[in-house]
Amino acid sequence: MSIFSKIKDAIFGHKSAPAQAQPAPTPQPAGAATGQAGTQVPPQAQAPAQHVDVEGVLAQISREKGNPDLNYKTSIVDLMKLLGMDSSLENRKELAAELGYQGAKDGSVEMNIWLHKEVMRQLAAHGGKVPANLTD
């Protein structure tokens, strides 16, 4: 399992995260599956899944852990620690490779800032509700 997948699963699978709503397919009456001249009619689009409030889940995890002194809103190291993950340089290098970081994978401030912002962007792309101040 990738480092990003572990981060996503820790947040999206947290008990305070809403379940990903998957609506049941709408049954169609007989004969409604085809249009004129026997052409297929596309199925109705499904409603989008509920978004997980990433900031809210992280705040909840922080409260559950007794509000540890972690700056998880801006630090990739502290975010990983909050989620109970190994925040070593080796793991951050692996995360950087997964997410396509092009700079030196040396644990620099630039790399760590990029990683945090990119993790937040990817969480948003995968159905997370992430405030703009965490992705910019």
Q: Provide the residue ranges of all domains of the chain, joining segments of one domain with +.
A: 1-11+51-136
Q: Identify whether the C-beta of residue 129 lies closer than 8 Å to the C-beta of residue 52.
A: yes
The mean pLDDT of the chain is 83
The pLDDT assigned to 34 comes to 45
Share of the chain above pLDDT 90, in %: 67
Q: What is the pLDDT of residues 81-97, one digit of tens each?
A: 999 999 999 999 999 99
Taking residues 98-123, what's their average pLDDT? 97
